[in-house]
């Protein structure tokens, strides 16, 4: 497909300047007239993954035309036309029917922008399957999941009242209309840098916030945040074709740093930097190499491309005087297998870890005796053996003899003792490490943190508020258990049997309770006090039954997810195991 800029008096609307070519013969299949080129609407012709259907948005935006994918010359076979003009569309990549199409209707006067989803060939206005409206949407980017079941919608404005750079948001819409939500980021303000679906379609990754930006992994079902991958100056996400590896890069106005993650292990396996100012970046079909390229005219010097391994190792670099585009030849999905990390790289990681540990030990040993600041001299024994001791780091006079660790002295965030007379705030190196994300692994969000994140964002649909209520109930139960334990200990002391529970921990989660020691024969057995009754009003049986029914509904949802093949964590499996007890308790209440 090619497009030529129309020239007044030369270009003919009937002939067409948008050309679809038939391969491998190289003949013209069809021609269309397109007045202008818009990056947000390119490619102007979109095919389904099986190439059975092709769609095109006409220049005026009045309708979307559909063609037989292999016979464009046969003409229009169907149309999607609404009262309002379209500003863009996205055809679902899923090869299975029915095919889905998402169209974007821009804001008009006081009406919000809207995204609607249709199923081909049902293209009437009343046959819409899903829709979502939003203000503050001057531009909209839509991204289908690989299976065509859900849609990520990224909205943005050019300016806002509180920032020159405008506002942006991310929305999730299921194609069948069963679920829609605004992706929650809690109190983390800032633009959405990038958002990408994983090749499995079960989750998606988002980089959001001001630089250094935060990276999140969200589960599509319920729009639930699962992991935080740390903060770093990054604005680009690229998944490998198999989904095992992902590159988080900082390109454009950022310094070109790249982090490579193994998403199966949620572990960073390599970091590198391309200082050339890459404009193009993509994976090879085997998921083993990552290509970055410096292109003309974005940069008129140092054009060329570089090949990096999936762990960030520079494999090959090639300079080209003027380079306009670099593309990787695609391949069918099943040609290359999904291979894990190479054992060679695993061994290299262990060696690097051991080297860093030994270097840290040598550094701490060389600095432990720093007092005068003078470099150490080689000893006679060392000189005879050809060994020279390490030079000690220079210490200013006003800080000498202050490096000894004093009990109770403040400790920095890295675990090193802070010298007397110095600031206890983070050093410049610590701040840089925090900004680069060095040593910052993925953080799995607990249910309470997920609920706090979604509630702070005001998520109306799909928020994990059940997790918050369950956590609150568990905390209340633990507090009641600790109160009863303290009451038993106080009663035992009053009865003369003190000492049996003195060593018990008030925290009910610290482990099993210790068995009381045998009482002396000369003394009467200690009186064990009964647990004190709750001071609050008793819970009505109807309320207890409602709580039990709610928990059973949650168990049914987990069983349905398990039947679909989803993996459940330990807490969810424990909840499934409690089903029989809950049903027995509910039956007893109903009796």
**Parallel, antiparallel, or unpaired for β 53-57 and 45-47?**
antiparallel
Given 420, 449, 478, the domain boundary residue is 449
Q: How far apart are CA 430 and CA 438, in angstroms?
A: 10
Q: Is residue 74 part of a domain?
A: yes
The C-alpha angle with vertex 320 and arms to 315 and 324, in degrees rounded to 5, equals 105
Burial 487-523 (b: 16+ CB within 10 A, else e): ebbebbbeeebeebbeebeeebeeeeeeeeeeeeeee
The residue written with tokens 């899923």 in the block is 94
Residue 542, Cβ neighbours under 10 Å: how many?
9
Predicted pLDDT at 250: 92
pLDDT per residue over 271-311, tens digit each?
999 888 888 999 999 999 999 999 988 888 889 999 999 99
Tokens 């262990």, residue located: 350
What is the pLDDT, as a whole number, of residue 306? Answer: 93
Task: Report d(CA 324, CA 296) in Å as an integer.
Answer: 5
Report if residue 307 sits inside a domain. yes
Q: Residue 305: what pLDDT?
A: 93
Of 24-28, 269-273, 429-433, 564-568, the range with the lowest mean pLDDT is 429-433
Q: Of 423, 449, 475, which residue constitutes the final position of a domain? A: 449
Is 60 contained in some domain? yes
- Asked which of 163, 182, 201 is the last residue of a domain, the reply is 182
In a domain, 571, yes or no: no
Pick the more confident residue, 532 or 386: 532
Angle at which helix 579-590 crosses helix 541-563, to 10 degrees, equals 150
- Long-range contacts formed by 312-316: CB under 8 A, 24+ apart: 312/258, 312/259, 312/260, 312/269, 312/270, 312/271, 312/272, 313/270, 313/272, 314/272, 315/289
CA dist 406 and 201 (Å) reads 54
Q: What is the pLDDT of residues 486-517, one digit of tens each?
A: 888 888 887 765 444 444 444 444 444 444 44
Which is higher by pLDDT, 427 or 378?
A: 427
Do 231 and 110 have their domain in common?
no
C-alpha closest to that of 188 among 205, 218, 211: 211
Both tokens of residue 162? 């509180």
Length of the chain measured in residues: 591
How much is the pLDDT for 167?
84
d(CA 266, CA 443): 9
Q: What is the pLDDT of residue 517?
A: 43
Mean pLDDT over 250-269 rounds to 90
What token pair was written down for 289? 């190499």
One domain for residues 223 and 293? yes
Could you tell me the pLDDT band of residue 14, with boundaries at 50, 70 and 90?
Answer: low
Same domain, 196 and 322: yes
Average per-residue pLDDT for the chain: 76
Asked, for residue 466, whether it belongs to a domain, the answer is: no
Question: Apex CA 541: angle with CA 540 and CA 544, to 5°?
Answer: 95
Looking at residue 544, what is its pLDDT? 83
**CATH number, domain at 169?**
2.130.10.10
Per-residue model confidence (pLDDT) at position 308: 93
Place of tokens 């079941």: 149
Same domain, 46 and 97: yes
The predicted model gives 325-336 an average pLDDT of 89
pLDDT of residue 560: 87
pLDDT at 556 over 80: yes
Give the pLDDT confidence of 146-178 residue by residue, as tens digits: 888 899 999 888 776 666 677 888 999 998 888
The pLDDT, as a whole number, for residue 98 is 85
Q: Report whether pLDDT(535) > 70.
A: no
- Residue 295: alpha-carbon gap to chain centroid: 29
236 in any annotated domain: yes
User: Of the given ranges (20-24, 83-87, 561-565), which has the lowest mean pLDDT?
Assistant: 83-87
Q: Please report whether residue 239 resides in a domain.
A: yes
pLDDT at 449: 64
How many structural domains is the chain composed of? Answer: 2
Both 170 and 197 in one domain: the answer is no
Write down the pLDDT at residue 548.
Answer: 86
- Of 173, 174, 218, nearest to 192 (Cα)? 218
Asked if residue 248 has pLDDT above 90, the reply is: yes
pLDDT of 28 reads 85
Nearest to 216 by CA among 35, 454, 6: 454
Q: Taking the CB of residue 322, how many other CB atoms lie within 10 A of it?
A: 10
- Bridge pairing between strands 224-232 and 213-219: antiparallel
Do 215 and 172 share a structural domain? no
Radius of gyration of the chain (CA): 32
- Are residue 218 and residue 357 in the same domain, yes or no? yes
Q: pLDDT (tens digit, 9 = 90+) per residue, 95-107?
A: 777 889 999 888 8
Whether residues 352 and 253 fall in one domain: yes
* Lowest mean pLDDT segment, chosen from 3-17, 143-157, 234-248, 429-443: 429-443
178 and 224 together in one domain: no
Do 169 and 280 fall within a single domain?
no
Mean pLDDT value of segment 547-557? 88
Contacts of 566 (CB under 8 A, 6+ apart): 202, 221
Residue 144's contacts (CB-CB under 8 Å, 6 or more residues apart) are 90, 92, 93, 94, 100, 102, 150, 151, 197
Omega prior to 73 cis, within 30 of 0: no
Residue 446 pLDDT level (bands cut at 50, 70, 90)? low
169 and 256: one domain? no
Report residue 215 as tokens: 């990276």
* Lateral strand order in the sheet of 314-319: 280-283, 289-294, 304-309, 314-319
Q: pLDDT tens digit string along 365-418?
A: 443 343 333 434 444 434 333 333 445 667 777 777 654 444 444 444 333 433
Q: Which domain holds residue 304?
A: 191-362+441-449
Please determine, for residue 430, whether its predicted confidence score (pLDDT) is greater than 70.
Answer: no
d(CA 253, CA 278): 10
- Of residues 66 and 165, the one with the higher pLDDT is 66
Non-local CB neighbours of 81 within 8 Å, separated by 6+ positions: 62, 63, 64
Q: Between vectors from CA 357 to CA 351 and to CA 359, what angle results, nearest 5°?
A: 100
**pLDDT at residue 532 above 50?**
no
Phi, psi of 363 (to 5 degrees): -65, -45
Residue 40's φ and ψ, nearest 5 degrees, are: -70, -15
Q: Is residue 247 part of a domain?
A: yes
Does 209 lie in the same domain as 272?
Answer: yes
Percent of the chain whose predicted confidence (pLDDT) is above 70: 70
**SS3 breakdown of the chain: % helix, strand, coil, rounded to 5?**
25, 25, 50
Tell me how far apart the alpha carbons of residues 133 and 108 are, in angstroms, rounded to a whole number.
Answer: 12
Give me 540's structure tokens.
């009505």
* CB 246 within 8 Å of CB 240: yes
Confidence of residue 30 (pLDDT cuts 50, 70, 90): confident
- What is the pLDDT confidence band of residue 481, given thresholds at 50, 70 and 90? confident
């Amino acid at each position: 497909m090619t497009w030529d800029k129309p020239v007044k008096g030369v270009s003919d609307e009937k002939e067409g300047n948008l050309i679809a070519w038939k391969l491998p013969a190289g003949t013209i299949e069809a021609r269309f007239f397109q007045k202008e080129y818009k990056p947000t609407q390119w490619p102007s012709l979109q095919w389904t993954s099986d190439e059975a259907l092709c769609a095109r948005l006409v220049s005026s935006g009045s309708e979307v035309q559909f063609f037989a994918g292999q016979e464009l010359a046969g003409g229009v076979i169907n149309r999607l036309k609404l009262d309002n003009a379209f500003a863009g569309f996205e055809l679902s990549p899923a090869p299975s029917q029915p095919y889905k199409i998402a169209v974007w209707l821009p804001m008009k006067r006081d009406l919000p922008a809207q995204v609607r989803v249709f199923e081909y060939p049902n293209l009437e206005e009343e046959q819409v399957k899903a829709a979502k409206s939003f203000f503050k949407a001057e531009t909209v980017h839509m991204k289908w999941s690989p299976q065509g079941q859900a849609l990520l919608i990224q909205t943005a404005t050019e300016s806002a009242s509180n920032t020159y750079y405008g506002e942006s948001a991310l929305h999730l819409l299921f194609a069948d209309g069963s679920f829609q939500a605004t992706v929650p980021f809690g109190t983390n303000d800032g633009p959405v840098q990038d958002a990408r679906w994983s090749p499995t379609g079960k989750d998606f990754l988002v980089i959001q916030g001001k630089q250094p930006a935060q990276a999140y992994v969200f589960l599509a079902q319920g729009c639930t945040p699962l992991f935080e991958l740390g903060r770093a100056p990054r604005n680009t996400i690229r998944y490998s074709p198999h989904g095992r590896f992902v590159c988080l890069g900082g390109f454009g106005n950022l310094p070109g740093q790249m982090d490579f993650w193994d998403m199966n292990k949620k572990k960073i396996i390599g970091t590198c930097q391309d200082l050339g100012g890459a404009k193009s970046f993509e994976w090879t079909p085997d998921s083993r190499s990552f290509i970055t390229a410096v292109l003309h005219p974005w940069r008129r010097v140092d054009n060329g491309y570089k090949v990096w391994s999936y762990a960030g190792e520079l494999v090959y670099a090639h300079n080209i005087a003027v380079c306009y585009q670099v593309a990787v030849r695609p391949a069918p999905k099943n040609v290359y297998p999904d291979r894990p990390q190479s054992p060679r790289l695993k061994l290299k990681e262990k060696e690097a870890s051991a080297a860093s540990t030994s270097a840290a030990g040598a550094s701490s040993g060389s600095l432990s005796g720093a007092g005068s600041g003078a470099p150490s001299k080689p000893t006679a024994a060392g000189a005879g053996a050809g060994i020279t001791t390490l030079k000690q780091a220079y210490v200013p006079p006003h800080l000498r003899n202050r490096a000894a660790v004093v009990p109770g002295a403040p400790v920095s965030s890295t675990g090193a003792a802070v010298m007397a007379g110095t600031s206890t705030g983070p050093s410049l190196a610590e701040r840089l490490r925090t900004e680069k994300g060095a040593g910052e692994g993925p953080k799995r969000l607990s249910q309470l943190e997920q609920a706090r994140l979604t509630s702070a964002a005001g998520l109306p649909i799909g928020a994990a508020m059940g997790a918050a209520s369950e956590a609150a109930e568990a905390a209340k139960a633990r507090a009641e258990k600790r109160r009863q334990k303290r009451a038993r200990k106080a009663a035992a002391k009053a009865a003369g049997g003190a000492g049996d529970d003195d060593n018990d921990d008030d925290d009910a989660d610290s482990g099993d309770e210790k068995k009381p020691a045998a009482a002396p024969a000369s003394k009467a057995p200690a009186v064990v006090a009964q647990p004190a009754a709750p001071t609050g009003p008793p819970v009505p049986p109807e309320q207890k039954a409602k709580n039990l029914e709610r928990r059973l509904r949650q168990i049914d949802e987990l069983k349905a997810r398990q039947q679909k093949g989803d993996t459940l964590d330990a807490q969810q499996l424990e909840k499934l195991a409690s089903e029989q007890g809950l049903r027995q308790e509910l039956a007893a209440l109903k009796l």
